Amino acid sequence: MADITVAAEKQVAAPQRARRTLLSRVPFVVVACYLLVAVVGPLLIDYDPVHTSLEDRLLSPGSRTSTGGTAWLGTDGLGRDMLAQIVYGARTAVLIGVSTVALSCLVGVVLGAVAGYFRGAADAVLARVFDVLLAFPAILLAIVIAGAFERSALLVVVALAATGWITFARVTRGIALSLRERPWVDAARVLGVPARTILARHVLPFTAGPVVALATLEFALVVLAEAGLSFLGIGLPPSTVSWGQTIANGKEYLETHWWISTLPGIALSLLIVNVGILGDQLTARYGRGRPG
């Protein structure tokens, strides 16, 4: 009787596990679609996202343009195609996000590993840097840096990475601290293995999982921050299409021509939410960074 009950419970639990597995893959599929659009989407769009046409301004989604084409997602106040703006905005968001996270990760992992392994003066200096930078809100520091210089994509990456590296450094430092006294690390030191080799072979591999999980979460924050800077007019230059700029361009038309701000806002929200969920999943699986 007990065997029958257990078998019945397994039959009921199997579909539930299958549904949970399927739902857990949705964020991955959505993010993959965004990446695909960012890479190949601009190649499939006939419209120039910055081309203005006053004859076609403020067309509703699905309207015919003066050239005979179709504005599938409408046009903005200058007659620019919204579909092209959203697709090219996805490319901008991905490029800025990946570049900023890569720079933050490189700086943070190197400094965190060095400080955690060697301790002493390196660790003390890094701790003071943490204190100084954490005293200012990250977005405020990015606004100050971006507003002090001429607008460019490189400046946005540097401004966002100026504080983004701290999180990577803190995580890597904690892992390095926990590993520096492990038997295999002590054995390598006794055998005269150079410190850089110990870090590369016996410390940094354990940071891979937590760093990847953290990078996913940081990517979402960077995309949101870039959109905020561009919305304020201190991010990317006007010649570069950005979701933040597109949303800002449509704020005066919200009551009459909702699609100008709403559609890129939806695209931005979907990306951030799904990347955040994906990051949580990766953190739950790989974020502990515990050596086996």
Tens of pLDDT, residues 204-215 = 888 888 999 999
pLDDT digits (tens, 9 = 90+) for 254-264: 889 999 999 99
In a domain, 2, yes or no: no
In a domain, 10, yes or no: no
Angle CA(241)–CA(246)–CA(251) in degrees, nearest 5? Answer: 165
Q: How far apart are CA 162 and CA 147, in angstroms?
A: 14
Contacts 24+ apart (CB under 8 A), 243-249: 243/86, 243/89, 243/90, 243/92, 243/93, 243/267, 243/268, 246/76, 246/82, 246/85, 246/86, 246/89, 249/76, 249/77, 249/78
pLDDT at residue number 12? 47
Question: The whole model's pTM is what?
Answer: 0.87
pLDDT band at 8 (very low <50, low <70, confident <90, very high): very low
In a domain, 26, yes or no: no
Q: How far apart are CA 29 and CA 39, in angstroms?
A: 15
What is the DSSP-derived secondary structure letter of residue 56?
Answer: G
What mean pLDDT is predicted for residues 89-97?
A: 95
pLDDT at residue number 75? 93
pLDDT at residue number 181? 82
In a domain, 209, yes or no: yes
* pLDDT tops 80 at residue 166: yes
pLDDT at residue number 14? 52
* pLDDT tops 70 at residue 268: yes
pLDDT above 70 covers a percentage of the chain that reads: 91
DSSP 96-151: HHHHHHHHHHHHHHHHHHHHHHH-HHHHHHHHHHHHHHHTS-HHHHHHHHHHHS--
Give the total number of structural domains in the chain: 1
Tokens (6 digits) for 207: 């940071």
Which domain does 217 fall in, by range?
Answer: 81-286
pLDDT band at 98 (very low <50, low <70, confident <90, very high): very high
pLDDT band at 220 (very low <50, low <70, confident <90, very high): very high
Which CATH number fits the domain that encloses residue 212?
1.10.3720.10
